[in-house]
Amino acid sequence: MKVEILETHCITSYVGVRATEEFSNLGQSIGKSFSELFKRKDEITNIINPSVTYGISPPNYKGNKGKVDFYCSYEVSSVANVPHGMVHIHILPRVYSVTHYIGPRSETDSGYEYTSQWLSENGYTYDDSEYYFERHDDGSIVDQDDEIIEMKIYSPVKKG
């Protein structure tokens, strides 16, 4: 795996489907939400790249054992006429660690563990007041846990 630090400089906007579930059952709900997102893609206007999807988790996600939200979405150039039942999110500019993960879907936690170790070794900590997100390029959302995926994990960080 590879980790790099990236500073964004503009607000980014996303439109998609919210998955809300107890943390322990979130995986199945996320799968259903991505399926709904793919089926309803044509309802979303101003998609920047229809081959790229994002999984966005709010600041309350990490370590939360209760109900959490996860947003399955597309990045849009501007938010206009959000389809019924969908949500929009704006993410402010910030500093992120970007972890390049390639491996089984069932082991994506190892990407987060690797990131935590790298941050600790390089003088960074998580900025848990901001959104985390995963970028999935075309074909990286798969149905089977043992299938290989490729994604980038964006974690908000600050210097230690």
| 63-100 pLDDT tens trace | 677 888 999 999 999 998 899 999 999 999 999 999 99
Confidence tier at 42 by pLDDT (50, 70, 90):
very high
Closest CA to 138 of 49, 42, 32: 49
Tally of helices (H runs) and strands (E runs) in the chain:
2, 9
Note the pTM of the prediction, 2 decimals.
0.89
Domains annotated on the chain, with CATH: 2-159 (3.20.80.10)
